[in-house]
Structures are given as structure tokens and as C-alpha cells.
Amino acid sequence: MKYYTLSQLQSLCECYLCKGDKSHMINSIRNFDESSESSISFYLGAEFKSELKKNPPKSCITSNVLLPDIADIVENILVSENPYLSFAKLSQIFSPGLERSSNIGKGSVISDSALIGKNVVIGNNCSIEGNVKIGDGTFIDHNVVIYNNSSIGQNCFISSGVVIGSQGFGYAKDNSGKWKHIYHSGGVKICDNVHIGSNTCIDRGTLGHTLISNGVIIDNNVHIAHNVSIKENTAIAAKTGIAGSSTIGSNCQIGGMVGIYGKAKVSDDVIISPKSSVYRDIKNPGFYSGTFPLLSHSNWKKVSTLLSKIDKIIKNLKKTNFN
């Protein structure tokens, strides 16, 4: 079990000790109702005030704005400009899940032609095929499959059940109406500091590569199809599906259960509400939502056309009524 003094923690998570004993030892992060002498808690908003008063922790991190709420209640207080970011940093310091006694788990099969970097951890029952590259410091959890011609950068986190480089969903009909599979011979390129949640599937490119850029974070149960390109620092929530050859810009936030149609292009700095359907390009940064009951396609085209012109229709109606 790791122990750190409050003095050490204030350096590690960019806080300052405004009250208390800098030599006090901390070994865990806990909720207020489970706090102990050696744990630290976070006070992130006034909605937690009653819980804090009911179960005051020995040590706590908060912001300058919220400090008055806990100043007379908590013995040791660290103040951070961004408490939630401090929480993220401390969660990594105290996480037991990132430690393994062995670099390669039981039952894992790794091709001789795979290139594995330094300090890479690979869990149990993983399959890593030929011509795969894995960068330094990457953590791969249990039951992960990485197919040939895939590359993963440095300091990535790949959760259990992830499949990287699977065949894309591409088919053509022959003269008899039967489906003929299009073999995808491309690969997948995952850059540095990418986090991929459990059971997410990333298909290989048809000829080129599917691209996941630096700093992208992907939740559980996300599907990314062939030849998709996702730019830097974009976040994608669970159960989102991105169809083939779509391009997602940098610093986007895509809510859960979003569907993005094939070949769509999404600008940088776009936020998309959960359950939205993106069926055309988003050319400008902003906050977008789009949900609607299922209709026949012909009716939907009529309705969507009217919705896109609703402002003009209302203005014309007002003019008509006024005249």
C-alpha cells in the first residue's frame, strides 16, 4: 500500500495546503461516508454539503470558491484550481489496478513478429498477431485481441475485451443478390495516450488505416468502423457507433448512443448530445442535438427539410398575419 504525505500530494496534484499537518500520511481516496484517518476525500460542489457535514473527513481537497463550506469542518485541507483534475491525478497514484507482478499474463499469445516496447503490460488471454507494434508504457488488460498490421502508441490504456483491427463491415451484392465480403487489408493506427474502454471494437481500414489520434478517450461498447479518422483529444461515450470513412475533429465530445453516418465530417470543437444522429457534415464548432421518432425514409426527408427551414417559415407566417 502506498503512503504519501500531504506535502507530497500537493506537489503531485498541483494543490496547496491551506490548513493542517503537511506530514500527515494518506494512502487512499474515499467517499465521505467511508473516510478514514489515512484517506483523502474531494468536495466538488454544494450538493455534497449535507453529506460532508454528516461524515466530515480528516483530509479533503476542494476549490477556493468552496473552501468556506469546509474550513471549519475538515482538519487537513488542500486547495486546487481544478479539484476534478486533481482527483484524476490522485486516482492514478492510488489505483491498485495498474499494478501487475508480470508483464505478460497467463494464456496470452504474442506473435514473434510483434514489436513490444518497454514497460508494456499485457493481461491474461490476450492475442497479439504479427506486425503489431505496441509503444512504451502501454497497458493492455485481459482478453484483448489485436490483429495484424495494427499499431498502438505510447502510454495507452486498452481495457478488457477490446478488439483492434477486425474486418470491416463491407459487402457487395452479386448478380444473384448474395452478399460478397470485401476483404479489408489495411490496418489500425492508434497514437499516444489513448484510452479505450471495455468491449470497444475498432475495424481495420479497407486499404489504408483507421486512425485514432493522440489523447483520444473512448468509452465502453463503442464501434469505430473502417477508415474512420478521429483527431486529437476527442472523447466518445458508450454505445456510440461511427460508420465507415467518417472524420471526427479534435477536442470533440460525443455523447452516449450517438450514431454517425458513413463518410460524415465533423468539425473540431463539436459537442453532440446523447442519442443524436449525425447524418450530414457538421462544418462549424458548437453544441448539436438531433433526436426524432422513427419515420419512413421518405417522410423523414420531408420532415427534416421542413425542420431546417422552420425559422424562415415562422417569419413568413408572422409577416402574413401582420399584413
Angle at 43 between CA 17 and CA 65, to 5 degrees: 70
Bridge partners of residue 77, in order along the sequence: 19, 60
Give the span between the Cα atoms of 77 and 37, in whole angstroms: 14
- 75's enclosing H/E stretch is none
Which of 184, 223, 226, 297 does the annotation list as catalytic? Answer: 226
Amino acid at 197: G
Residues shown for the chain: 323
Tens digits of pLDDT across the chain (323 residues): 789 999 999 989 889 999 999 999 999 999 999 999 999 999 998 899 899 999 999 999 999 999 999 999 999 999 999 999 999 999 888 876 555 555 899 999 999 999 999 999 999 999 999 999 999 999 999 999 999 999 999 999 999 999 999 999 999 999 999 999 999 999 999 999 999 999 999 999 999 999 999 999 999 999 999 999 999 999 999 999 999 999 999 999 999 999 999 999 999 999 999 999 998 899 999 999 987 766 788 888 888 888 888 888 888 877 776 55
Residue range(s) occupied by CATH 3.40.1390.10 in the chain: 4-93
Q: Which pLDDT does position 284 carry in this prediction?
A: 95
Residue range(s) occupied by CATH 2.160.10.10 in the chain: 109-288
- What secondary structure does DSSP assign to 215-270, as a single string? T-EE-TT-EE-TT-EE-TT-EE-TT-EE-TT-EE-TT-EE-TT-EE-TT-EE-SSE
The domain 109-288 belongs to what CATH superfamily?
Hexapeptide repeat proteins (2.160.10.10)
Q: Which pLDDT does position 278 carry in this prediction?
A: 92
Amino acid at 184: H
Residue 297 known to be catalytic: no
Q: Which pLDDT does position 30 carry in this prediction?
A: 93
In CATH terms, 4-93 corresponds, of 3.90.1150.10, 1.10.530.10, 3.40.1390.10, 3.20.20.70, to 3.40.1390.10
- CB proximity list for 158: less than 8 A, separation 6 or greater: 138, 139, 140, 141, 144, 152, 164, 196
Q: Which pLDDT does position 295 carry in this prediction?
A: 72
Bridge partners of residue 196, in order along the sequence: 158, 218
Match 479489408 to its residue by C-alpha cell: 184
